[in-house]
Amino acid sequence: MILTGSRGNTRCEIAGALKLPKSMDECSMLRASRDLSDWLISTTETDVSFANRVYIFKNLRVEWEFRHAMRNFLDGDLIKLSNNVHYETSRREVNRWVEEQTRGMINELLPTGSINRETRMIAINALYFKGAWMNIFSYSRRHQASFYLLDGTRQYMKMMYLEDYFALGKFRNLNAQAIRIPFSHALWEMVVVLPDRMDGLPQLLEHTRRPGVLRSILLGSYQSRKLSLFMPKFTLGLGGSVDAKVILNTMGIRDLFSLRTADLSWISAEEPLAVSNLFHKAILRVSLLTDDLIHKL
């Protein structure tokens, strides 16, 4: 949504971070976004949904082109919030909508105080995914194995277990290996990356922050191997929202966060806009039957 509403160097920085071709024009980008979301949502045996919404304050005049793109390509809507309502009331209204879109998993995306008298607009993007594994894991007292914490400390715990053929990739430059775990629909799979050293996760995470590393893992060479896979049931992301501005800065997106440099004139040409906060929250829940991924931005 923000890319759609941006122009000039602001747009170039966002498009560059997303690795979009420089030759891709606005119409092509919007059509590709719509076609991709339609295709993903249409897949059977999985529950996939996207939600986009823009909340408007202070009688902000939104350009017709942005409204058109939201309605016809991004499957989103624009909601006006009353200027006479207390900011906390507006925050709770936004968080209620977020909770509905994420099946109750995320109920506090915007923290207290995140909306104030300077707020002109809130853009919300959501992704929800729930898929069943191609082969169901077993889980019993017999399936116990070592699990290593960040510092290499070992804990002995009950694990999900599955013996089957998996695609296995080895990445010597990262001192890690990766396994692809398929869902029941062939389009989807979960990639788990495991460091070779028991205390190697912090270093591996540092490596994956470098440009192109995650891409090299996803597109790397994998071979089918029969494996005994032990994996704990777990849920990640139950804490508070993360301010993602620092992350985007490292990706080269800088102009967006300053009124002096931001160009969001395709959202509103009458009033200068910039992004003051970027709250990100994702929840990943892995269990015997399914994998749930809920993402809000």
pLDDT at 23 over 90: no
CA dist list (Å): 51 to 67, 124, 295, 297: 15, 8, 10, 10
120, 271 contact by CB (below 8 A): yes
CATH class of domain segment(s) 2-131+236-296: alpha beta
Beta pairing class for 223-231 and 234-236: unpaired
Average pLDDT score over the chain: 86
pLDDT at 256 over 90: yes
Q: How many CA atoms lie within 13 A of 122 on its CB side?
A: 26
Closest of 208, 232, 202, 231 to residue 220, by C-alpha:
208
Question: How high is the pLDDT of residue 239?
Answer: 66
What's the rounded Cα separation, in Å, for the pair 283 and 285? Answer: 7
Question: How high is the pLDDT of residue 238?
Answer: 64
Q: What is the pLDDT of residues 39-53, one digit of tens each?
A: 777 777 777 777 889
Question: How high is the pLDDT of residue 204?
Answer: 93
CATH superfamily of domain region 133-232: Alpha-1-antitrypsin, domain 1 (2.30.39.10)
- Cβ of 73: how many Cβ atoms within 10 Å? 20
pLDDT at 14 over 60: yes
User: In the chain, where are the structural domains located?
Assistant: 2-131+236-296, 133-232
Closest of 272, 235, 224 to residue 121, by C-alpha:
272
Question: How high is the pLDDT of residue 296?
Answer: 47
216: three-class secondary structure by DSSP: helix
Confidence of residue 240 (pLDDT cuts 50, 70, 90): low
What's the rounded Cα separation, in Å, for the pair 276 and 269? Answer: 18
pLDDT at 203 over 60: yes
Question: How high is the pLDDT of residue 233?
Answer: 84
Question: How high is the pLDDT of residue 42?
Answer: 72
